[in-house]
Amino acid sequence: MNGPVKQENNREENFIKWYEVPSKEQAIAISGRLRLARNLRGFPFENRMSNDQKLALSAKIAETMKSEEFEALGLKNMGFEKMEAYSRGALVEQHLVSPEFAQNGRYSALFSTADNSLSVMANEEDHIRIQALLPGIELEKGLEAVNAADNIFDAKLAYAFDEKLGFLTECPTNLGTGLRASVMLHLPMLESSGVLPRISGNISKLGLTIRGTYGEGTKAKGSFYQISNQVTLGISEENAVKNLKAMVSQIIFQERALRDGIKGRSLEDKICRAYGILTNARLLSGDELMETLSLIRLGLDCRYISDISYVTLNRLAFTMGGANISAVAGRELSGDERDFMRAKAVRETLLNAGGN
């Protein structure tokens, strides 16, 4: 149990987030995510609950979490329901919560470790969602973390559970284990070589899916793709995670094979120009940041760029969205202001991290 999740819980005071920890396969594997969907007996599903019922449920879950066991996991109430819109948006950009959950913030509750590696949401699509986030592909550690929280809830609350169907969930695609596991990969070479559609077809036969960062069908911004399990019935949590990890390892292997073949002046030029933009631009949109960070990440792996760590790139990718910039400023910023402050923060981060 020396994995990133546990490690991070000991570092609360430093505000180091889960994505700021070096990990295996970090050149290609950005992050992993494990999520359990749970519902309680005696409450209707979310889509049939009034706001008052939601508040009552939130209060019940919050009360339940005021316990030694949850405190031992480092889970604390984040005061999500009182946050400004941009602060909730900042958590969306950090992949901690979904946009829908952020929008319904007033009737929700969020509990998290300081590093956000483990979190619990009340009134998400299901009554309770338990989530682990981790750098790289060490999904087993994430599964341990969500299971730990799940066991505590199970001892204290009555889950909606059916002997045949397993855990009951609002959306039938989550029935059974209620487990969704995913890994975000950086796949610029598989993308540009055009083989992703074939890979997508193959893995769907194995109950897995691949999609762009911002939803199915869209081209991934910066070549970041999410691979996740689709099947939650008739397969154990451990096997689901094992299957996903095996497929992810294969995809990483394929991406790496392509990378070994593409080095050259033209690519180096493209990557170094991206570095030039990031260290000099005075206005930088979120989209341009993702595209250029994608090139820098590839450049780091190809050794065209040095003196920058993957941790630095992760920090930029997770904390330079518009809501995060606004949250740092403490007010809702205009688009121009955001682009200006984003450029400044990125520039200073990279120049302090060292040149290329």
Q: Can you give the binding site for its own copies, defined by CB under 8 A? A: 265-266, 268-269, 272-273, 275-283, 336, 340, 343, 356
Q: Which helix (H) or strand (E) holds 301?
A: helix 286-301
Beta strands across the sheet bearing 179-186:
76-77, 109-112, 118-122, 128-135, 29-38, 179-186, 224-229, 208-212
Q: For residues 75 and 343, which CB has a smaller minimum distance to its own copies in the complex?
A: 343
173: annotated active-site residue: yes
Please state, in angstroms and rounded to a whole number, the distance separating the CA atoms of residues 182 and 226: 6
Q: How far is the CB of 140 from its own copies (least distance, A)?
A: 41
Given a contact cutoff of 8 angstroms between Cβ atoms, the answer to whether 125 and 12 are in contact is no
Catalytic residue chosen out of the listed positions 171, 198, 238, 331: 171
Catalytic residue chosen out of the listed positions 33, 88, 180, 338: 180
180: annotated active-site residue: yes
Q: Hey, what are 193's tokens? A: 């070589």
Catalytic residue chosen out of the listed positions 33, 88, 129, 338: 129
Catalytic residue chosen out of the listed positions 8, 33, 35, 124: 35
Q: Which helix (H) or strand (E) holds 147?
A: helix 139-156
Q: How far is the CB of 336 from its own copies (least distance, A)?
A: 7
Count CB neighbours of 85 within 10 A: 13
Q: For residues 304 and 310, which CB has a smaller minimum distance to its own copies in the complex?
A: 304
Q: How far is the CB of 272 from its own copies (least distance, A)?
A: 4
81: annotated active-site residue: no
**Long-range contacts made by residues 243-250, C-beta under 8 angstroms, separation at least 24?**
243/206, 243/207, 243/208, 244/139, 244/181, 244/182, 244/183, 244/208, 245/137, 245/139, 245/140, 245/183, 247/203, 247/206, 247/208, 248/29, 248/137, 248/183, 248/185, 249/137
Please state, in angstroms and rounded to a whole number, the distance separating the CA atoms of residues 222 and 311: 17
Catalytic residue chosen out of the listed positions 173, 238, 273, 348: 173
Given a contact cutoff of 8 angstroms between Cβ atoms, the answer to whether 230 and 205 are in contact is no
100: annotated active-site residue: no
Q: How far is the CB of 266 from its own copies (least distance, A)?
A: 7
129: annotated active-site residue: yes
Q: For residues 196 and 295, which CB has a smaller minimum distance to its own copies in the complex?
A: 295
Q: For residues 44 and 354, which CB has a smaller minimum distance to its own copies in the complex?
A: 354
216: annotated active-site residue: yes
Q: How far is the CB of 116 from its own copies (least distance, A)?
A: 33
Q: For residues 190 and 277, which CB has a smaller minimum distance to its own copies in the complex?
A: 277
171: annotated active-site residue: yes
Q: Which residues are catalytic?
A: 35, 125, 129, 171, 173, 180, 211, 216
